[in-house]
Amino acid sequence: MSGKEETVELLRNSLCKRCHEENATHSIRSEQVCHKCFSQYVTTKAVKRMETYRIRGSSAKPPRKLLLPLSFGPSSASLLHILDQHIQGQYDRMNRAAYELFVVHIDLYVDPVDRKDSSELLEKYKIRFPRHTYSSFGLEDALLLDGIEWKSLHIGQPNESDGKPTTERLQHLLGSILSATSRSDIASTLLTRLLVDVAKRNSCEGILFGDSTTRLAEKTLTETAKGRGFSLPWQVSDGDAPYGLGFNYPLRDLLKKEIVIFSSLATHTLAEIIIYQRTSSTVSASSKLTTIDDLMTQYFESVEENYPSIVANVVRTSSKLQPTSILDTTACGLCGLPVAEGTDGINGWGGDQNSDSRPEIKDGHYGVLCYGCSRSING
């Protein structure tokens, strides 16, 4: 009998170790619990991470506005479900809430059929969670952002003058990048920059990402492998990001498999609307080549099944990293993160500050890029 079969058999013949009333149906690490206690465990873990935004004192203050990116996957959908209940609980107790949600979906798909599916699905979320404000954008909207050194990508400032749709220009940009990993990295960078821009334009104080422990572990090794390890303090830890707003990860103490189970247990048809699988290619993956991100996802999904403590230890260790001081630094022209003097470009980390450490721009000037972005552009 395999380990998984032994666990299933054990659950069939045991009571919940927390309430001691219902039959155990799930396992929290090594503790067997019932449906209700499992859902409470997940909810409590996430809500505790929202202590920064709790109501303080008796004075009535306007709720803080927070952006929640919604990808329609189990993690972001579960986070929306949990926080919707949390806000309702605050209204029930005090007739006011400490924060409000601005839910944003960024569509990575360019096919009109897929865009229509996304729009229809977002409408279901609006009906299910009517309390919040919703908006949607396409990844191609990132091409209209200021503050990005577009010439470092060997293109001019994207504009409407060429008459081409922005989706076509985005496909051309990503299609010109030969490496699948670099293509995925550039698309991810544009996604983050777009989310930050939307958050600022809508007066949001921070962004609430639905990353699980497993996802943060993947990101830790992925970003390190890409040469962007300096960014980990902002990518895996709660706190202020260099963009001028906060990055927070309320699901950071939960494994991906725990969130998937929770999403299937959530009431009021939540499980029905989050199970949304599409087979069309996204603009960030125009070939079938495996990326570093894919490899890390496969690795940690296998590790969390039998060795969840390893996954948690990776995140716990990386969360101890201290961010680089943003004083006396220059922002990377692509990802926007601070680049300390002497560490930009591909050769910067080796101390070789020559013309090759910065990508050349046609007009003879050089843009400052971090090591990770330099590698992606030259990959």
Residue type at 271 in one-letter notation? A
- Which burial class, exposed, middle or buried, applies to 360 when counting CB atoms under 10 A from its CB (0-12, 13-18, 19+)? middle
> What is d(CA 149, CA 345) in angstroms, rounded to the nearest whole number?
14
> What is d(CA 158, CA 150) in angstroms, rounded to the nearest whole number?
8
3-state secondary structure 125-171: HHHHCCCCEEEEEEHHHHHHCCCCCHHHHCCCCCCCCCCCCHHHHHH
pLDDT at 88: 95
pLDDT at 161: 58
pLDDT at 335: 93
pLDDT at 220: 96
> What is d(CA 86, CA 65) in angstroms, rounded to the nearest whole number?
15
Q: How would CATH label the architecture of 58-324?
A: 3-Layer(aba) Sandwich (3.40)
193 neighbors 336 (Cβ within 8 angstroms): yes
Residue type at 206 in one-letter notation? G
| In the chain, domain spans | 58-324
pLDDT at 83: 97
pLDDT at 10: 58
pLDDT at 305: 87
Tokens of residue 5, six digits: 């079969």
Tens of pLDDT along the chain (379 residues)? 455 555 555 556 689 999 999 999 998 878 899 999 999 999 999 999 998 877 666 556 789 999 999 999 999 999 999 999 999 999 998 889 999 999 999 998 777 777 888 899 999 999 999 999 999 999 999 998 988 888 777 665 665 556 677 888 888 888 888 889 999 999 999 999 999 999 999 999 999 999 999 999 999 999 999 988 989 999 999 999 999 999 999 999 999 999 999 998 874 445 455 544 443 344 544 445 789 999 999 999 999 988 999 999 999 999 999 887 766 678 899 999 988 766 665 555 444 444 444 444 444 444 688 889 988 887 6
> What is d(CA 277, CA 148) in angstroms, rounded to the nearest whole number?
32
pLDDT at 289: 74
Tokens of residue 136, six digits: 């949607």
Instruction: Report yes or no on whether pTM surpasses 0.75.
Output: yes
> What is d(CA 216, CA 252) in angstroms, rounded to the nearest whole number?
7
